[in-house]
Structure 1
Amino acid sequence: MKIMMKYAVLIVLLGLLIQPVAVAQDSTNAQTEVPATVQADSNKARNNSDNRIYALAMRYNDASVAKMKLYELMERNPNNLSYPETLASLYFEMEQYGSSALVALDLLEKNDKSLIGLEVAAFSLEQLGALERALPHFESLHLLSGDLFSLYKTSYLQYSLKKYEEALNSVNMLIRDKKAAEQNLNFPKEDNTMQQVSMLAAAQNLKGLIYKDQGSATEARTAFEEALSLSPDFELAKENLADL
């Protein structure tokens, strides 16, 4: 009986010893759990701080700090696509076309209608010589924005890739658009300066190049002459006509 009583007392004592520990553990867990509102306020404060530092870095032309802050903002705010858009644009402006292309392509996986993502991807890939990969981004950019320069780039890349029928379709779309006569493009001159010509004249010149490559000299001549009627000082069109 005495032995039984000893075991009973031990069990009670163990229960008393264990209970405070459990309470202490519960108290510790309660202290480590951060309320959602507090966490949100903390992230907002860090975002504000990082945005201020980014703005200062850009003002002081410190691209390395600006990029680092954008990376931190992207990590903290994965659903805010304005940060990768800004990073892609920054890389492009710094002529780091490999990086700008990669950021833009990752961005387009999340939002394939991002105009900034499409523009940076298209021009970056073109700069890298990846014309086949750049082409669909120029096409999408035109379809989504109606931008005529994107249509011109589409037709020029199609011509460069010897996709002549597609190039003709694109350039004819451009020629039929009334806004093409109101916009200008820059082209190099022999003296290494630049000259402005109407986009319509540029489209006719490109049309002449397409016909020339296809061996259609008569159609090419007509297109080059039409380009010169629109922009009489268009040196590139003059050279192309002379080459015939």
Structure 2
Amino acid sequence: MNKIMMTVTLMLAMVISVFAQDKPVESETNQKRNEIDRKIYQLALRYNDLAVARMKLFELIERNPTNITYPETLISLYFEAGQYTSAAVSALDVLEMNDKSLIALEVAANSLEQLGALDKALPNFERHYLLTNNLFSLYKTAYMQYSLNRQDEALNSINMLVKAPKSTEEKVGFPKIDNTTQEVSLKAAALNLKGMVYMYQKNKAEAITALNQALEIQADFELAIENLKEVNKM
């Protein structure tokens, strides 16, 4: 979850930075009102008054219906506030305006996952990966496929991730027994997930191989250690 929040926070910062660079041309009538609302929005964020910030975004959206910057910012605010239903619905609305909005795809995917709608989250993770080559989205794609019992698809996604050179560099967090978070490489995470797929398929030998490969990369990977103990009981 920490990685998700950091990603969306970064997206939100990027969106805010282009507020003054509205791509659609503003009419003279709207220009001054937009400028005032943007200033109030920034001040509301500074004071952590999200209700006022959202209200100003709604006004900017209504006044500038073709400017996708404002609804993209709104969905990021919903997600950061943990309002996953609002984030998901508004992100899907943005995708109807622009199905290549990376912010909307990521917010929709992660919000729908938080709501337990994995079948709806999966295509958004898949599309986000296809548009960005983001390895975290590929990992989430594989995990969604595993969770939805689409094991062959999961193995295909896992193998793609394991082969990606940067999978050894990028990290993902896992909860530990002591309630702390352990950072492991995406490659080790993918191999652990591969072991879980084979565990589900009752393929003990392949599960042990995958989990041992994960532990070769990171010997203290707690979840892989626990999964290996479970496999040995099979």
Classify the TM-score, shorter chain.
Answer: 0.7 to 0.9
**1: distance between equivalents of 2:45 and 2:115?**
26
Aligned to 1:237: 224
Aligned to 1:64: 51
Q: CA deviation at 1:190?
A: 1.1
Q: Look up the equivalent residue of 1:231 and give its one-letter code.
A: Q
Bigger radius of gyration: 1
Of 144, 160, 176, which aligns to 2:131? 144
Whether 1:85 aligns to 2:72 is yes
TM-score normalised according to structure 2 size? 0.87
Structure-2 separation of matches of 1:141 and 1:155:
13
Partner of 1:75: 62
Deviation at 1:222, TM superposition (A): 0.2
- 1:96 matched to 2:83? The reply is yes
Is 1:160 the counterpart of 2:152? The answer is no
- The answer as to 2:101 corresponding to 1:109 is no
State the distance in 2 between where 1:161 and 1:228 align. 26
1:128 is the counterpart of 2:115 = yes
Q: CA deviation at 1:155?
A: 0.1
For 2:96, give the aligned amino acid. E
Instruction: Extract unaligned runs of 5+ from structure 1.
Output: 1-38
Output the CA distance in 1 between the equivalents of 2:215 and 2:36: 56
Counterpart residue number, 1:119: 106
Q: 1:40 — aligned with what?
A: 27
The match for 1:172 is 159
Cα distance per residue 1:40-94 (max 9 Å; x no partner): 2120000000000000000011111100000000000011000000000000000
Aligned length: 206
| TM value normalised by structure 1 | 0.83
The one of 178, 184, 190 aligned to 1:191: 178
User: 2:82, 2:176 → 1: CA distance?
Assistant: 24
- RCO comparison, higher one (Cα < 8 Å, 6+): 2
Determine the structure 1 residue equivalent to 2:38.
Answer: 51
What SS does the aligned partner of 2:141 have?
A: helix
Q: After TM superposition, list the pairs within 5 Å mapping 1:203-218 onto structure 2.
A: 203-218=190-205
- 1:96 Cα deviation (Å)? 0.5
Q: For residue 113 of structure 1, give the secondary structure of its aligned residue in structure 2.
A: coil
Separation in 1 of the partners of 2:74 and 2:106? 13
Cα offset, 1:195, TM superposition: 1.1
Query: What SS class does the counterpart of residue 197 from structure 1 fall into?
Result: strand
2:65 match: secondary structure: coil
Indicate the SS of the match to 1:223. Answer: helix
Give structure 1 regions of 4+ aligned residues with deviation exceeding 3 angstroms.
none
Deviates more, 1:98-107 or 1:182-191: 182-191
Q: What SS does the corresponding residue of 1:196 show, helix, strand or coil?
A: strand
Q: State the shift of 1:126 in Å.
A: 0.5
